[in-house]
Amino acid sequence: MLSILLLSAYLISSTEFYQMLKLPLLLEHFNEHKSLNEGTTLWSFMIMHYTNNDVKYADHDKDMRLPFKSNEGSVNIFSLSFIQNFTSIKLINPFERELKSYIIQKDQKFNSTFLSNIWQPPQSC
């Protein structure tokens, strides 16, 4: 529960997520338009308020209170910087191995009957 509270506080204060708090205003304003004109759909309402930026209607002040219409939130960027004295560190590769070479003679034969079983056809049980 505490993590949800902290995440919400961060999202509302540092991002545009605070605009979601204005959704009740959007629904209220949509209902006002719907009561004035029954043919108003949510799609036409969104087009009227979010794509026609040049047109100022009589309810322009209400329009500017809708989500994502104005930038009234302040985004605070807070950063702490510490200057450190850098020291050089020699990294040791733990995967370094000693290269070993093996000599295989050409005439070396494997005298195992296990290898000859590979070439046998499968047998049904």
Residue 61 class from Cβ within 10 Å (0-12 exposed, 13-18 middle, 19+ buried)? exposed
CB 22 within 8 A of CB 67: yes
Q: Residue 124 domain-assigned?
A: no
pLDDT in tens, 46-75: 988 888 777 777 888 888 888 888 776 555
Q: What is the pLDDT of residue 94?
A: 65
Residue by residue, DSSP assigns 58-104 as: TTHHHHTTSTTS--------------------PPP-TT---------
Residue 64 lies in a domain: yes
Q: Is the pLDDT of residue 81 over 80?
A: no
Q: Is the pLDDT of residue 97 over 80?
A: no
**Domain boundaries, position 53:** 21-69
CA–CA dist 65, 46 (Å, integer): 14
Number of domains in the chain: 1
Residue 32 lies in a domain: yes
